[in-house]
Structure 1
Amino acid sequence: MKYQDQLKRTLEFENTPTRIVSLVPSQTELLVDLGLESLIVGVTKFCIHPASLRKNKTVVGGTKQVHFDKIKNLNPDIILCNKEENTKEMILELEKIAPVHLSDIYNLDDALKLIDLYGKLFSVEKKSEALVSSLENKYKDFRHYIKDQEKLKVAYFIWKNPWMVAANTTFIDAMLRLNSFDNYFGNLERYPEVDLNTIKEDLDVILLSSEPYPFKSADIKELRSRFLRTKVVLVDGEFFSWYGSRLDYAFAYFKTLHQDLSD
């Protein structure tokens, strides 16, 4: 059986893979929600959903650095990676152990296609189709909701010291646009460092992500004192950056966020 990943690389298997190493937290959660938890043999230390997973599976490292010997000893049939979250050097080394399936996610459509790919690859098509259908229906409902919301200019911060934001050509930017937000740094690419002194008074909202930098109430206070006319809000970064089954809860969260911003 031959399958293509999202970089159009062809992977070939004699049988459906039954020993999975997942090196991307959002994809690990997706596997579980597709009923594949029993097939997972290795995860990262950041695979926190469900919470019990790291106790029951072998933790092989993080998303940027892994213990290749641990992964090899797990004898995986397949290793799941992501072009952005895992390094090229890692992937080249992992390919010596087992076939590596790469995701490449920039928007909701890419995320839906990945769910479909996993359904076919792991022979759980009915579950993947049901999840895709649920997401499409919730997105349709959200589009109806969002058309009446005020379009706000926002900056989405992911790091401090140095200050860094999510800019264009990122999944976060796609989620901002889905929310009818105008990304203040949309003219930049990826995750640039920015100078707070360049921000003008026309910025409506600063969104501080809960990950990867753990912004706290003190950071909110600091920015509010600096940008008096701008709302500063701490948001759950998983709903803006996790592109697996967590999206099934994202649209309800986005509605709540818009309600908070309108108060």
Structure 2
Amino acid sequence: MRRDHLDRMVNLNGKPKRIISLVPAITETMYHLGLEKEIIGRTRFCKFPADKVQEAINIGGTKDIKLERIHELKPDLIIAEKEENTKEIVEILEQHYPVFVFEVQHIKDVYRMIEDLGSLTDRKAAANELINNIQSAFQALPSADGKRAAYVIWRKPYMVVGKDTYIQSLLEEMGFINPFIKADGRYPVVTEEEFLQAELDMILLATEPFPFQEKHFKEFQAFLPNVKPMVIDGEMFWYGAKMVEAADYFKKVWG
């Protein structure tokens, strides 16, 4: 028996050999730990590493799984995450399979996730190496020197990153001040007036989940004429194995 990050007891019988991941960032991390033979299923949003992930069966989305495909695969472990996957999905799957649920809201949670993932899959050495590589890379993160920034993830309505999220934790690590962490919810809806009141220095337009592009600059400049918008690669804000690559990206963008 193992206790997951939601304090649930998960019954595991030995080292898992048939794993399904419902979490794109964790899927990439598992491949990085050398689990390509064990990963039999993943979501359609699991796209890294591009040269390996297609070998695993697509079992649907993070919130709309295809249960019959999962039954056909007969997994001995399913990986989920509290934000990425719904409580209902976990409750359905745990009737049939061991489901280990992670919760990642902060950089420190990522290290715990990688460490526990290594323990679950007998990849402790690889997990420790990845943690060390991330920590080393993050020592050289650029500093935003207290710039006030909004990280925008959606349009119509505008939604931004708020409190208790990995992205906010990463922004804070780089020295950004997010004026929307006091708003209700982890991804609050924000009006044009609230953007104005936030006294922003920067507005970061993420390429996911809404695919912001430079063509959207004009609409923000119409009500924030003194704030330069910037398209930011949302994939660089994935946690796990992506963090090493992300550190280099941030140095190029803000270093």
Tell me what 1:157 maps to.
152
Deviation at 1:15? 1.4
1:194 to 178, 190, 193: 190
C-alpha offsets along residues 155-214 of structure 1, whole Å, 9 cap, x if unaligned?
A: 110000111111111111111101100002111130111111222272100000110001
Residue type at the aligned position of 1:162: P
8 A Cα contact 1:167 1:192, kept in partner? yes
| SS state at 2:100 partner | strand
2:221 to 220, 224, 230: 224
Counting only pairs closer than 5 Å after superposition, residues 1-263 of structure 1 correspond to structure 2 as 2-142=1-141, 145-146=142-143, 149-188=144-183, 189-200=185-196, 202-240=199-237, 242-259=238-255
8 A Cα contact 1:45 1:54, kept in partner? no
- Distance (whole Å) between structure 1 residues aligned to residue 145 and residue 114 of structure 2: 32
8 A Cα contact 1:41 1:58, kept in partner? yes
- Distance (whole Å) between structure 2 residues aligned to residue 120 and residue 27 of structure 1: 14
- Distance (whole Å) between structure 2 residues aligned to residue 109 and residue 55 of structure 1: 30
Matched pairs, number? 253
Of residues 65-74 and 216-225 in structure 1, the stretch that sits farther from structure 2 once superposed is 216-225
Deviation at 1:125? 0.8
Residue type at the aligned position of 2:167: I
Q: CA RMSD in A?
A: 1.4
Where do 5+ consecutive residues of structure 2 fail to align? none
Deviation at 1:221? 2.6
- Distance (whole Å) between structure 2 residues aligned to residue 186 and residue 92 of structure 1: 31
Deviation at 1:54? 4.9
8 A Cα contact 1:22 1:44, kept in partner? yes
Residue type at the aligned position of 2:208: E
Deviation at 1:38? 1.1
Of residues 105-114 and 185-194 in structure 1, the stretch that sits farther from structure 2 once superposed is 185-194
8 A Cα contact 2:196 2:223, kept in partner? no
- Distance (whole Å) between structure 1 residues aligned to residue 29 and residue 145 of structure 2: 32
- Distance (whole Å) between structure 1 residues aligned to residue 145 and residue 51 of structure 2: 40
- Distance (whole Å) between structure 2 residues aligned to residue 83 and residue 199 of structure 1: 29
C-alpha offsets along residues 198-249 of structure 1, whole Å, 9 cap, x if unaligned?
A: 2227210000011000112211232123312112000011222x11110111
8 A Cα contact 1:158 1:164, kept in partner? yes
Percent of pairs identical after alignment?
Answer: 35
